[in-house]
């Protein structure tokens, strides 16, 4: 039960996870079922799947924001109780405090660690520089573009130096060019100290370009994992250029083969739904 | 339309109104004045009376009393509203148990409490503060309650994932969210603090603008009543300008300047 890193234990381990929700009409919706997944320390794992398959649900369970109805979440070998203190979570929606400036939003992340205001602000300024926002410290979130807000959020997560990064379609709301820039920024920052990453996306190309391993999820309800594909592309990678690599295409073809049927199934369900 | 033209048009409306009032009360039309100055006074009389009162100094004492009552009513009402709003929003059981009583208390027309307060707190300023309190409290209470409960779940989850404890969540998330809602109702609550003060004075007191108006009314001094109303109106406009200035300073982070004055 100590917080120390158990050598060899995976950073995140989901064992037999099932998650169910009680709907408003008291019926139960089984979102995911029988999930076994391990993310090694320093490994970048992406989960792809059709919309609404429960990818984010898995992330919330790994973060401790959601209690699975069955199974165990282990963080570096220790069963997770309460919130996952060793993880940073990058949300899909805007999660910055709108009443704080970019600088204060990043600096406040150090307050729970008991770091003084002066030092926190100095380190926050340094982090804003690292994500390319040095001149934007005094801006409030509404004065920043969507991409800039994501950069602030990224700095807010990384300044705490978590051992695990959980990312829920973080670049989903951004335009194509900004997504590429953010992807490269993420890879650069990640390369510095290789944290374990669990990255959820519905964009297969993004998943292959970023990750060491791509996990494919089936369409819900009771979604499960139906594919585990290694991505042996060399690092460092450039998100834009790697898409032209023939090997990238081969991997894409393989994974898309298993994903396509699920996407069609999810789409058919969506069409059939009342 | 540019500002100067707009301002000119606005002034024109005021002048037209005053002119109409003046003509109807002073110029005989068809052998008689359409409005009897005894009941309607005249604009010049009202201005002259107001000027005399302001120069006399007695009016300033009344203004001071009303201002003090307004400020105290707002401060106590807002403090109570914030504390209880927070408590109710964070303790679901408390909110559920007291819900019907809060609604019932809010449904009561507060004016009927004025005589009771006069009985309990005397004819001095405190009975007026109490009346203003009951008006301000509920506005702030409902807004803070709403504000705390409607914090974005993502912002809250993010703050928790950053490792914030309950106290830090309070300070960095709940409190600013509640303040936003409180400020959105600031104009209304300051207005109601003033209503509480003036109505309280009107119903029984020995000083304040409400008292002055009531005194004038009791001797059919319509000029005095209108003069009191004029002073009250200017006072409210100035108070509102102060509130707007405070709001602008404290809500700099908001996307659009708050225009809602519900």
Alpha-carbon gap: B187 to the closest alpha carbon of chain A (Å): 21
Average of per-residue pLDDT values in chain B: 89
Helix/strand/coil for A79: strand
Q: In terms of Cα–Cα distance, which of B59, B91, B41, B76 is closest to B234?
A: B59
Other Cβ atoms within 10 Å of B154 Cβ, number: 15
Is pLDDT at A201 greater than 70 in this prediction? yes
Whether residue B18 is found in the same domain as residue B48: no
Q: What is the DSSP string of B68-93?
A: HHHHHHHHHHHHHHHHHHHHHHH-HH
Q: Is residue B16 one of the residues assigned to a domain?
A: yes
pLDDT digits (tens, 9 = 90+) for B131-152: 999 999 999 999 999 888 889 9
Contact B253 A98 (CB under 8 A): yes
pLDDT digits (tens, 9 = 90+) for B39-93: 888 899 999 999 998 898 888 999 999 999 999 999 999 999 989 998 998 888 9
Which tokens is A5 given? 């890193």
- b/e per residue A105-120 (b: at least 16 CB within 10 A): bbbbbbbbeebeeeeb
Whether residue B77 is found in the same domain as residue B55: yes
Contact A83 B161 (CB under 8 A): yes
The dihedral of CA A250, A255, A258, A264: what is its sign?
Answer: negative
Segment A166-183 shows an average pLDDT of: 89
Segment B5-34 shows an average pLDDT of: 90
Strand order in the sheet with A213-217: A87-90, A164-168, A196-201, A44-48, A213-217, A225-230
Whether residue B34 is found in the same domain as residue B45: no
Instruction: Judge contact between A134 and A74, C-beta under 8 A.
Output: no
**Residue A99 in contact with partner chain B when CB distance is under 8 A:** yes
CA distances from A1 to A6, A75, A195, B186 (A): 10, 11, 22, 51
Per-residue confidence (pLDDT) for residue A68, from 0 to 100: 92
Per-residue confidence (pLDDT) for residue A272, from 0 to 100: 54
Instruction: Answer yes or no: CATH 3.40.50.300 is held by domain A1-82+184-193+209-274.
Output: yes
Per-residue confidence (pLDDT) for residue B184, from 0 to 100: 77
| Domain membership of residue B9 as a residue range | 1-38
Per-residue confidence (pLDDT) for residue B261, from 0 to 100: 43
Mutation target for B interface from A95, A152, A160: give the one with most B CBs within 10 A.
A95
Per-residue confidence (pLDDT) for residue A96, from 0 to 100: 95
Per-residue confidence (pLDDT) for residue A7, from 0 to 100: 60
Which tokens is B218 given? 């009791």
Other Cβ atoms within 10 Å of B221 Cβ, number: 16
Q: What number of C-beta contacts closer than 8 Å exist between A and B?
A: 67
Segment A63-84 shows an average pLDDT of: 92
Segment A126-137 shows an average pLDDT of: 92
Q: What is the DSSP string of A166-230?
A: EEESTTTTS-HHHHHHHHHHHHHHHHHH--EEEEEES-HHHHHHH-SEEEEE--SSSB-EEEEEE
Whether residue B199 is found in the same domain as residue B157: yes
**Residue B162 in contact with partner chain A when CB distance is under 8 A:** yes
Instruction: Count Cα neighbours of A208 within 13 Å in the Cβ-side half-sphere.
Output: 23
Whether residue B181 is found in the same domain as residue B79: yes
- Residue B260 pLDDT level (bands cut at 50, 70, 90): very low
Whether residue B19 is found in the same domain as residue B78: no
pLDDT digits (tens, 9 = 90+) for B183-221: 878 888 998 999 999 999 998 888 899 999 999 999 999
Give the closest of A87, A97, A101 to B173, CB-based.
A97
Helix/strand/coil for B117: helix
Residue spans of the domains in chain A: they are 1-82+184-193+209-274
Q: Is residue B256 one of the residues assigned to a domain?
A: no
Whether residue B178 is found in the same domain as residue B115: yes
Whether residue B153 is found in the same domain as residue B215: yes
What element of type H or E holds B54? helix B43-56
Contact B162 A113 (CB under 8 A): no
Where helices occur in chain A by DSSP H, the ranges are 55-63, 102-107, 117-130, 146-158, 176-193, 204-210, 239-242, 246-272
Whether residue B34 is found in the same domain as residue B91: no
- Residue B256 pLDDT level (bands cut at 50, 70, 90): low
Domains held by chain B: number: 2
Alpha-carbon gap: A260 to the closest alpha carbon of chain B (Å): 31
Whether residue B13 is found in the same domain as residue B33: yes
Q: In terms of Cα–Cα distance, which of B91, B219, B80 is closest to B143?
A: B80
Segment A225-243 shows an average pLDDT of: 90
Q: Is residue B255 one of the residues assigned to a domain?
A: no
Is pLDDT at A110 greater than 90 in this prediction? yes
Instruction: Judge contact between B254 and A143, C-beta under 8 A.
Output: no
Instruction: Count Cα neighbours of A256 within 13 Å in the Cβ-side half-sphere.
Output: 11
Q: In terms of Cα–Cα distance, which of A232, A259, A227, A262 is closest to A245?
A: A232
Per-residue confidence (pLDDT) for residue B252, from 0 to 100: 79
CATH of the domain at B177: 1.10.3720.10
CA distances from A177 to A129, A174, B81 (A): 21, 8, 48
Is pLDDT at B32 greater than 90 in this prediction? no
Whether residue B29 is found in the same domain as residue B108: no
Which tokens is B165 given? 């404890």
Q: Exposed, middle or buried, B23 (CB in 10 Å: 0-12/13-18/19+)? A: middle
């Amino acid at each position: 039960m100590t917080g120390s890193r158990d050598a060899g234990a995976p950073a995140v381990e989901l064992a037999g996870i099932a998650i169910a929700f009680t709907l408003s009409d008291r019926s139960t919706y089984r979102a995911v079922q029988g999930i076994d997944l391990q993310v090694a320390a320093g490994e970048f794992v992406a989960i792809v799947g059709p919309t609404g398959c429960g990818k984010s649900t898995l992330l919330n369970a790994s973060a401790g924001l959601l209690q699975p109805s069955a199974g165990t979440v282990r963080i570096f070998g220790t069963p997770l109780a309460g919130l996952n203190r060793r993880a940073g979570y990058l949300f899909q929606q805007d999660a910055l405090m709108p009443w704080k400036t970019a600088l204060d939003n990043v600096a406040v992340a150090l307050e729970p660690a008991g770091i003084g205001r002066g030092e926190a602000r100095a380190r926050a300024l340094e982090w804003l520089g690292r994500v390319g926002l040095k001149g934007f410290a005094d801006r409030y979130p509404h004065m920043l573009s969507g991409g800039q807000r994501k950069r602030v959020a990224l700095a807010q997560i990384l300044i705490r130096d978590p051992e695990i990064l959980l990312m829920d379609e973080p670049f989903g709301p951004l335009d194509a060019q900004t997504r590429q820039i953010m992807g490269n920024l993420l890879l650069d920052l990640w390369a510095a100290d290789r944290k374990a990453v669990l990255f959820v996306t519905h964009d297969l190309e993004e998943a292959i370009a970023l990750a060491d391993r791509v996990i494919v999820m089936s369409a819900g309800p009771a979604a499960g994992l139906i594919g585990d594909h290694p991505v042996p592309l060399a690092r460092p990678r450039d998100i834009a250029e790697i898409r032209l690599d023939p090997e990238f295409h081969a991997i894409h073809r393989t994974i898309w083969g298993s994903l396509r049927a699920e996407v069609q199934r999810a789409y058919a369900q969506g069409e059939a739904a009342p | 339309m540019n500002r100067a033209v707009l301002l000119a048009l606005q002034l024109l409306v005021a002048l037209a109104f005053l002119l109409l009032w003046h003509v109807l009360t002073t110029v005989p039309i068809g052998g008689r004045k359409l409005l009897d100055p005894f009941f309607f006074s005249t604009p010049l009389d009202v201005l002259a009376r107001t000027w005399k009162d302001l120069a006399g100094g007695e009016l300033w004492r009344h203004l001071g009393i009303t201002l003090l009552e307004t400020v105290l009513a707002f401060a106590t009402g807002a403090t109570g509203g914030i504390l209880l709003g927070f408590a109710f929003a964070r303790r679901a059981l408390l909110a559920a148990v007291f819900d019907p009583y809060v609604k019932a208390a809010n449904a009561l027309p507060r004016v009927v409490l004025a005589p009771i307060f006069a009985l309990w707190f005397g004819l001095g300023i405190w009975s007026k503060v109490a009346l203003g309190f009951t008006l301000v409290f509920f506005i702030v209470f409902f807004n803070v309650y709403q504000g705390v409960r409607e914090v974005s779940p993502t912002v809250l989850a993010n703050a928790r994932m950053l490792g914030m404890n309950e106290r830090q969540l309070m300070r960095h998330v709940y409190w600013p969210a509640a303040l936003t809602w409180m400020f959105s109702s600031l104009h209304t609550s300051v207005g109601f603090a003033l209503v509480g003060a003036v109505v309280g004075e009107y119903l029984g007191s020995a000083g304040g603008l409400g008292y002055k108006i009531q005194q004038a009314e009791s001797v059919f001094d319509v000029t005095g009543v209108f003069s009191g109303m004029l002073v009250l109106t200017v006072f409210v406009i100035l108070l509102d300008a102060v509130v707007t200035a405070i709001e602008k300073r404290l809500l700099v982070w908001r996307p659009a300047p708050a225009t809602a004055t519900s």
